[in-house]
Amino acid sequence: MKILGIDTSTRFCSLGLIEEDSVLIEYTLNNSKKKHSSILIPTIKDMLERINLTLPDIDGIAVSLGPGSFTGLRVGLGVAKGLSYACSLPLLGIPTLDALAFSLKEIPYLICPILEAKRDEIYDVVFRGGNKLSKVLDYKCEDIYNLVVRVSLLKEKVIFLSESIKKYQDIIKEKMGKDALFINPQVLLSKGVNIAFLGLEKLKKGKGDDIFTLSPFYLRKSEAEINWEKKSDK
């Protein structure tokens, strides 16, 4: 089966097309100066043309649900829903943090993917690797200090991975020492492919999502909601 994976959760727009355990094509674009909405459809079209495929040749569309950029997530999910509806393809929602950890799933350590949130907070989760990912600590939005305290209590080696890992490395090392391991951020650029592989696993289990009810997994309130609540409390 062929699955298209779409990730727009960060400034990198990552797309991947797989067939079973093979990667057919992948694109990763640093989208810091352009909106995902302006490049997503043309890039998908270009990908398919390069390998002589059309959308009806695909068996499913997997998309990152978040957490991540609120706007980016809405754009990615909107495009995925539109393509799914137009071509009657299964829609497969995948948590972004799962996709980050997927590349390391064979490693028998604890794996902690991190995404930056706003207000000096991060999104995180902890998995145990080894053939497949099993969740040890649930998804959370918190500050890095709180994460380090929680993870250090596990008293195991933990692989931390993040596009911003250099920002947090010293804080983590100070508390965890040699139990903290770090991965080169370049590993994280294939999220579209990982989204596709996780989508394939989900499709084979018959767990497609409802196009009308699937929504982003924000994990925290938007800035607008936070500001509105502050005004309401006054």
The CATH number linked to 127 is: 3.30.420.200
Q: In terms of domains, do 164 and 214 share one?
A: no
pLDDT digits (tens, 9 = 90+) for 145-201: 999 999 999 999 999 999 889 999 999 999 999 999 998 777 667 789 999 999 999
Whether the per-residue pLDDT at 204 is higher than 90: the answer is yes
Q: Is residue 232 part of a domain?
A: no
How many angstroms separate the CA atoms of 80 and 72, rounded? 12
Range of the domain at 217: 2-95+189-221
Q: In terms of domains, do 117 and 88 share one?
A: no
Could you tell me which of 199, 120, 202, 124 has the C-alpha nearest to residue 161? 124
What's the full length of the chain, in residues? 234
Q: In terms of domains, do 207 and 161 share one?
A: no
How many angstroms separate the CA atoms of 145 and 137, rounded? 15
- In sequence order, the 6+-apart residues with CB closer than 8 A to the CB of 114 are 122, 123, 124, 144, 147, 160, 161, 162, 164, 165, 168
Reported as a pLDDT band with limits 50, 70 and 90, residue 225 is very low
pTM for this model (two decimals): 0.91
Reported as a pLDDT band with limits 50, 70 and 90, residue 232 is low
For the chain, what is the domain count? 2
Q: Which strands sit side by side in the sheet containing 122-128, from one edge to the other?
A: 134-142, 122-128, 110-116, 158-161, 180-182
Q: In terms of domains, do 11 and 117 share one?
A: no
Amino acid (one-letter) located at 190: S
Reported as a pLDDT band with limits 50, 70 and 90, residue 29 is confident
